[in-house]
Structure 1
Amino acid sequence: MSKEQIMQLIAARTYKDGLTETGVDGVRLFRATQSIPCVPAVYEPCVVAIVSGAKEAILDGQRYAYDSSRYLCCPMSMPVKAGTPAASADAPLYGVFIALDSQMMTALSMEMDAAGDVIRTGSGGQRAQGIRLARWDDGFTEALHRMLRLGDSPTDTAVLGNARLRELYYAILKGEAGAFARQAFGAGNAIARAIAHVSAKLDSPVSIDEMATRAGMSRAVFHRKFKQATTMAPIQFVKSMRLNNAAMKIAGGMKVNAAALEAGYVSPSQFSREFKRMYGQSPRQWSDAQLLPAGVA
């Protein structure tokens, strides 16, 4: 089996640009046939695998370019910029978006710990922050192919989908990004829990002291560990998450004031000022530009 077979499956099932459901919860195919610049997005815990073409993500100024040789692993919610700058009708991009279910990933991580499995950390001991690129290996390729083949039968998908997804998760945890992902989904990761809590409550006031208390750390220790895990200070992270969410909603047609309120801003002027500082355009200008096509992953 090969990535070429996976690409053929995706191409046969995607009839338009954007995301296409597979019938397995959290697993979607996507296609892009036009160049899209990197624009604000929020990656919930996920793996993004490209089988044809290339994609980019930017986290806190760090650029991650990946294609069929490496997939992207993002085990915690992250405010990024993402795009498909090289896609075209003659060179379409095909890929798979795999949401990472926290309960299943945590259970697998704990089972692997209990079994005494040792996960390789990658060459050179490089420390990944927020996002990690991992080499496509045989285990990942085989597990992904087996899961996508379920799409030939709705019955197979309904009966076997969860088991095949678990198999794919296991391949991810065994792969080059395995140790990185297990740090996020391990039972003791207080930073990942703090990020999950903040991401679910972006419209509510947040303080570093509250986040540190939830994590069971002093303010100074929490600040240091949070920045090690995400590259950003906690308040910078929260602001980026809020503004990226607002930018996505505005580009999708939501009124500026409504997007600001949903992002936790009570002052429209403060929202406009911080939005322009982050993206170089006012929210109104951003809305008029309509930068974010529907369905970009």
Structure 2
Amino acid sequence: MDKQQLKHLIASRIHEDGLVETGIKGVQLFRATTAIPCAPAVYEPSVIAIVSGAKEAVLDGERYVYDDSRYMCCPLSMPVTAGTPDASPDNPLYGVYICLDQRVMTELVMELENASGPIADKRPTGRQGIWLARWSQPFFDALFRLLQLGSSPVDTAILGNARLREVYYAILRGEAGGMATQAFAPGNGIARSIAHMTSDLGAPVSIDDMAARAGMSRAVFHRKFKQATTLSPVQFVKSMRLNNAAMKIAAGMTVNEAALDVGYVSASQFSREFKRLYGQSPRQWGHAQHLSA
């Protein structure tokens, strides 16, 4: 596989830092030439493939650095801190962001298991929640074929979904196949409870309700939830709310608005929990983000 060829293809289509659309839903190219320290973020179900430079993410104290040797696969929405600490004009970061569509991934899991039986549970480097999987030749080929469509809007419109499906298939057949299958299998109660909770962070959350939605007892739900995410349900909900609030504050929302928007009714509780997690009050943190912007 020639990743330099892939890098040149991406670099020819993005001329400033940030994300650009490819014309294929859920697929974006990105570039960074400035070091960005890790900051609160939320990884949606996705794959991020780096072709030059490196990104890093931290989940529950575990640091993941991924570059052109391994792509990052996150099958569930996860609260992380993420950044590009080594990016510079001399060492630019180029990569591809691929959203994992729940419906298409589930269809593929069912078709693959019907055709070949259960997928082997091959677990790549890392703990639960985030996996770093080595590039396979089929993954590279499928990704390259997908991005080649960008030179023709007509080809993109007609062939884009089919080629994205090839990328999904390569993920399921690669090192991340076992965990992706588990996450997107029909009836996955943990995935269902996370999707419901993250769809409306401002709504009241009960762990008993999350367990009931998953079809499990509270004890079983707690154990399986932590296996899937590294976090307890309470930690997950709190981190997801605080990370989303931090992102809203960085985007210009007031502290009180952000707190209410993610489900906090007590401003003092929000400030206390925010400072405990990030080491700064929400206002201090927001001010620092605006100064560095």
Q: What range is the shorter-chain TM-score in? A: over 0.9
SS in 2 for 1:269: helix
Q: Which residue of 2 aligns with 1:119?
A: 119
Q: Which residue of 2 aligns with 1:23?
A: 23
Aligned pairs, number: 293
Alpha carbons 2:113, 2:119 under 8 Å: kept: no
Task: Quote the Cα distance in structure 1 between the aligned partners of 2:170 and 2:239.
Answer: 31
Q: Which residue of 2 aligns with 1:204?
A: 203
Q: Deviations over 1:95-147 (max 9, x none)?
A: 00000000000000010111124534337x87841110000010000000000
Amino acid at match of 1:185: F
Amino acid at match of 1:219: R
Q: Which residue of 1 aligns with 2:274?
A: 275
Task: Quote the Cα distance in structure 1 between the aligned partners of 2:187 and 2:81.
Answer: 29
Task: Quote the Cα distance in structure 2 between the aligned partners of 1:274 and 1:30.
Answer: 32
Q: Structure 2 unaligned segments of length 5 or more: list them.
A: none
Q: Which residue of 2 aligns with 1:57?
A: 57
Q: Deviations over 1:199-234 (max 9, x none)?
A: 112111101110111111111111111111111110
Task: Quote the Cα distance in structure 2 between the aligned partners of 1:143 and 1:277.
Answer: 44
Task: Quote the Cα distance in structure 2 between the aligned partners of 1:292 and 1:159.
Answer: 44
How far did 1:269 drift? 1.0
Task: Quote the Cα distance in structure 1 between the aligned partners of 2:117 and 2:32.
Answer: 38
Task: Quote the Cα distance in structure 2 between the aligned partners of 1:38 and 1:55.
Answer: 9
Q: Which residue of 1 aligns with 2:228?
A: 229
Whether 1:11 and 2:16 are equivalent positions in the alignment is no
Distance 1:262 1:293, change over 3 A: farther
Q: Deviations over 1:149-168 (max 9, x none)?
A: 00000111111111111111
Amino acid at match of 2:91: A
How far did 1:2 drift? 1.7
Task: Quote the Cα distance in structure 2 between the aligned partners of 1:87 and 1:98.
Answer: 21
How far did 1:292 drift? 10
Alpha carbons 2:122, 2:177 under 8 Å: kept: no
Task: Quote the Cα distance in structure 1 between the aligned partners of 2:142 and 2:288.
Answer: 40
SS in 2 for 1:165: helix
Q: Which residue of 1 aligns with 2:185?
A: 186
Q: Which residue of 2 aligns with 1:43?
A: 43
Task: Quote the Cα distance in structure 2 between the aligned partners of 1:107 and 1:283.
Answer: 42
Q: Which residue of 2 aligns with 1:218?
A: 217
Task: Quote the Cα distance in structure 2 between the aligned partners of 1:100 and 1:153.
Answer: 23
Task: Quote the Cα distance in structure 1 between the aligned partners of 2:274 and 2:156.
Answer: 43
Task: Quote the Cα distance in structure 1 between the aligned partners of 2:117 and 2:7.
Answer: 32
Structure with more relative contact order (C-alpha pairs < 8 Å, separation 6 or more): 1
Task: Quote the Cα distance in structure 2 between the aligned partners of 1:192 and 1:127.
Answer: 19
TM value normalised by structure 1: 0.95
Whether 1:80 and 2:80 are equivalent positions in the alignment is yes
SS in 2 for 1:57: strand
Q: Which residue of 2 aligns with 1:110?
A: 110
Alpha carbons 2:125, 2:133 under 8 Å: kept: no
Whether 1:241 and 2:267 are equivalent positions in the alignment is no
Q: Structure 1 unaligned segments of length 5 or more: list them.
A: none
Task: Quote the Cα distance in structure 2 between the aligned partners of 1:151 and 1:224.
Answer: 44
Distance 1:153 1:96, change over 3 A: same
Whether 1:93 and 2:88 are equivalent positions in the alignment is no
SS in 2 for 1:16: coil
Distance 1:292 1:76, change over 3 A: farther
Distance 1:198 1:101, change over 3 A: same
Amino acid at match of 1:233: S
Q: Which residue of 2 aligns with 1:149?
A: 148
TM value normalised by structure 2: 0.97
Distance 1:50 1:127, change over 3 A: closer
